[in-house]
Homo-oligomer: A and B are copies of this chain.
Amino acid sequence: MALYGGIEAGGTKFVCAVGTGPDDLRREVRFATGTPDESIAQAVAFFRDAETAYGRLAAAGIASFGPIDPDPASETFGYVTTTPKPGWAHTDFAGQVRRALGVPVGFDTDVNVAALGEFRWGAAQGLDTFIYLTVGTGIGGGAMVNGRLVHGLMHPEMGHIRIPHDRTADPYAGWCSYHGDCFEGLACGPAIAARWGVPATELAPDHPAWDLEVEYLANGLVSLMLPISPQRIVMGGGVMEQTHLFPRIRRRVQELLNGYVQADAIVNEIDGYIVPPALGNRSGVLGAIALAELAATG
């Protein structure tokens, strides 16, 4: 059975794994994200070591923080592009891994790859159009439409949509350094912490912080659902580990839509429509392995 390598490259940490799927992860490593040279060398060393133990990898997949160039037809395919992260702008991430390992390398955004992981083995199996949204230190979304991941002009940046912000109810100006009170600016983990002066994890489930969070997340979801018409929305990330949010978000989404979209999945079966990731916090690294599978088979 062909063996694959996956890299989930985040702004703060790398997760690398070798295996064939969720029930067969042979080896995994996590390390803090350093310079591109350091981090890519560490990942490559991990894979080479695993190859010594388990045999050759057939391909690798990379789920990368962005912005990136995920267009295989582009000259800068596989690059991290204009990121403000020191040292990483204009880094040929996929190319370096490909040359070091000598195998095909798939490359996409962290959230598209997490969506792919949930599609391959998780909460989006059998669907062709769905959204994977992560709410944590930022908000990001990946999407599959008609069975293929969405890229378009560049790649979706779902965290930065504009949503209603009642400054009377919530005078906080927002966390986003580009847009202030965009969706991410109002609803990501650091925005909660900055607004209330304590980390989100320390706020009890009945704290008014969560009323506001439900309002923003439900407004954001509605504005993501209506353009894409997903068959399901998978919500992961650190903030969504507050599982009490799920029933409240579902109810508020129904209220906001107010019967406009007459689909059973929303009107009658919303508990199965807005769901946590079935792969927990491993959607990304498992998605990278699923992306490697695709890269291997062309």
Contact = CB atoms under 8 A, between A and B. Distances in A.
A243 interface: no
A160 B81 contact: no
Given A162-B164, A165-B164, A152 B229 contact: yes
Contacts of A222: 160-162
Contacts of A257: 160, 178-179
Interface string A239-276: 00000000000000000111111110110000000000
Interface string A122-162: 00000011010000000001010110101111111111111
A146 B112 CA distance: 14
A227 interface: yes
Given A81-B262, A179-B260, A231 B164 contact: no
A219 interface: yes
A34 to B, nearest CB: 24
A224 interface: yes
B256 A152 contact: no
Interface string A262-292: 1101100000000000000000000000000
Interface in A158-183: 158-165, 178-179
Contact residues of A: prevailing secondary structure: loop
Contacts of A265: 153
A53 interface: no
Interface residues of A, number: 49
A229 B156 contact: yes
A194 interface: no
A67 interface: yes
B256 A162 contact: yes
A223 B81 CA distance: 23
A266 B266 CA distance: 34
Contact of A152 (B145, B157, B162, B219): B145
Given A131-B227, A156-B227, A162-B223, 9 more contacts: A129-B153, A150-B229, A154-B263, A156-B226, A161-B223, A161-B226, A164-B165, A178-B259, A227-B228
17 contacts: A82-B262, A129-B150, A129-B151, A145-B146, A145-B152, A156-B226, A157-B226, A158-B226, A158-B227, A159-B226, A160-B226, A161-B222, A161-B227, A162-B256, A163-B223, A223-B227, A227-B228
